[in-house]
Structure 1
């Protein structure tokens, strides 16, 4: 039986981290849950540990990509699941991502959330991410920024290290697709905290746009250098 590890990067997620951890620990396929506390200033680490997660603490806030790199280094699973910390009870939907990998139907699965009917932003970040993935791989994807993914160990070894900041998912998709791995988007009924059309939301999306653009620029240089794989 293949072993499944769940890795959850978290920064100041005390409100939801315990529910998220409990939900994934209830899944019969999951053998371990690792929470990487990215130098939170609240009770995130303590609550995650109390809920049953193995907690790895970073001494300073280093961002999502660095937290994931730290977490997967300690994961023992044949399948590794990446989840956001704020999913709460809806994290149990991760089973829909895990099963296709275990059945050999996909090498990487990506959660596709239901539409909320609300417009959080103007779609600039998602549009940039989709265009970048299309440029490098020819793939048309619906959820280019989804952080909820399951990967086989083989995929994981080929895509590390993860990109910095919010460029993680775009680089992950591009690297996996160019290696010929099978990627499937899976509809799920997950819920997490949404950013709105307020100042905080626009600042968040501005950082996302910056990180995705920088990641695509680095990939353009990396993948066009002589001696690098080209697809």
Structure 2
């Protein structure tokens, strides 16, 4: 019997991308369920998501913006009921969401317990590499594993891995914290190169503020993980 695969998509103000994101995964045979959690958007994300015609898609809307971690936990409560394999995808992938197939295949082949999408190099100059460097170096220091895509939110998990977590951590450090825990628990992670694209932050004030928050959150998560795993 084929495993039941659920994909969770937390989305905030993605009315321009959510339709393409959903249209390009709804016909992937291996995917049984797509759980969209609108994280209190101020635009028409929910309404647009509901226009996509597929019995696989379930759309939920939070009454206010509570952050990606909260939205993922909300989606997980629904997905865990039936799923054997659960994926996280961002709502702004657009047509490149179809690349999730490259993440599903290796987990079905039992090549690893968690598959992480490794994106091609960004088209525009982003930050100065501090956040990526902090994430990569810290995972290596704490686990002995060298991974390039520790910040990637596009991931596919065997259910048993997610069952180890009472809840998904909140904040921008969620991916780094989970990566450390997963490796410490002894599970295998594999990175797979995909041709996915999503909204990039540039070298403007907004971009630097975003990366500053990321850096702060990751530092906070790392302090917590060092205490937990010492």
- Relative to the length of structure 1, the TM-score reads 0.94
CA distance in 1, matches of 2:124, 2:13: 25
Indicate the residue corresponding to 2:145 in structure 1: 139
Deviation at 1:66, TM superposition (A): 1.1
2:24 paired with 1:18: no
| Segment of structure 1 superposing worse, 104-113 or 159-168 | 159-168
Aligned counterpart for 2:59 among listed residues 42, 49, 55: 55
The alpha carbon displacement at 1:65 in A equals 0.9
Aligned to 2:191: 185
Asked whether the 8 Å contact 1:159–1:176 carries over to 2, the reply is: no
Partner of 2:43: 42
Cα deviation code 1:124-155 (max 9, x no counterpart): 11111112211221111111100100000011
Q: Distance in 2 between matches of 1:217 and 1:37?
A: 30
Equivalences for residues 122-201 of structure 1 within 5 A: 122-201=128-207
Q: Residue in 2 aligned with 1:5?
A: 6
- SS class of match (2:215): helix
Size of the alignment, in residue pairs?
224
Q: CA deviation at 1:117?
A: 5.0
Tell me which moved more, 142-151 or 126-135.
126-135
Distance 1:20 1:95 in 2: 13
Q: Which residue is equivalent to 1:74? A: 78
Classify 1:19/1:160 alpha carbon distance in 2 versus 1 (closer, same or farther; 3 Å): farther
Q: CA deviation at 1:217?
A: 1.2
Distance 2:114 2:66 in 1: 25
Please list every run of at least 4 consecutive aligned residues from structure 1 whose deviation after the TM superposition is greater than 4 angstroms: none
Higher helix share: 1
The Cα of 1:160 is off from its aligned counterpart by: 4.0
CA distance in 1, matches of 2:89, 2:70: 14
Deviation readout 1:139-195 (Å, 9 max, x if unpaired): 111111001000000111113411111111101111111111110000000011100
Q: Is the Cα contact below 8 Å between 1:134 and 1:140 reproduced in 2?
A: yes
